[in-house]
Amino acid sequence: MSDTSYPQTDLNKVKQTRVRATYDRDIVHAILDEAYVVQVGFVVEGRPQIIPMYGIRDGETMVFHGSRKSRFMRKLADGVALCLNVTHVDGLLFGRSAFHHSMNYRSVVIHSVGRLAREEEKARLAIAVTDRFAEGRYADVRGTAANEMKATDFLIVPIENVVAKVRTGDPVDDKDDLDLPHWAGEITVSRAFGVPRAAKGLKAGIEVPQNLIEKYGE
């Protein structure tokens, strides 16, 4: 298997709707890179728990951060089995029959175990999680102070046992239904960003930075 694909393992082998599964690295990365929130699943006293968290891809890892005080990152890094999910809904599919209504989507599931970032890794990760909002953002603001860095834990989760599922295209109606007089097709779903809105009390004369305008529009 080339390095353009992730390996198939016991944990990411797809049993259902195999036709939609892909292990392609570029596709996996693209889906992850579009997310702001990652669903993080773990087991607590035998029960499933899902926490939605801000997460970014950093090479072949996903990176999360949180308050050291809460000790939550520490708990998740303590050899705990994690399941990560990112899902984007791309379209609502209207079939000629109720049964063949469906959705276009892209999703990634990862089964992995995380570790806490070491102190010497944290400065770079603080930049990465900030620059995810806009390239160069970290350099434009007050950088992370020593006490803030100390108060923050970063959780690094390798991208492994990973599989993406992607559905695109038309609804698939039964042949016998194709001539029915019912409209069939797709209504796409996408993400829209608003016009940058200044925080209350922002000092007069501070313009919206160019990198935000370039990324999100005016």
CB of 77 to its own copies, least distance (A): 15
Q: Which amino acid is at 215?
A: K
List the one residue out of 107, 103, 115, 42 whose CA is nearest residue 78. 115
Q: Enumerate residues 25-64 that contact its own copies by CB under 8 A.
A: 36-37, 39, 41-43, 46-52, 54
List the one residue out of 187, 175, 169 whose CA is nearest residue 94. 187
CA 194 to chain centre: 20
Which CB, 6 or 138, lies closer to its own copies?
138
Which CB, 4 or 36, lies closer to its own copies?
36
* Per-residue exposure over 163-176, b if at least 16 CB sit within 10 Å of its own CB, e if not: bbbbbeeebebeee
What are the tokens at 69? 């005080």
CB of 3 to its own copies, least distance (A): 26
Which CB, 132 or 156, lies closer to its own copies?
132
CB of 24 to its own copies, least distance (A): 19
Which CB, 18 or 118, lies closer to its own copies?
18
| From 25, 115, 137, 167, residue interacting with its own copies (rule: CB under 8 A) | 137
What are the tokens at 26? 């570029």
Q: Enumerate residues 170-209 that contact its own copies by CB under 8 A.
A: 170-171, 173, 177-203, 206-209
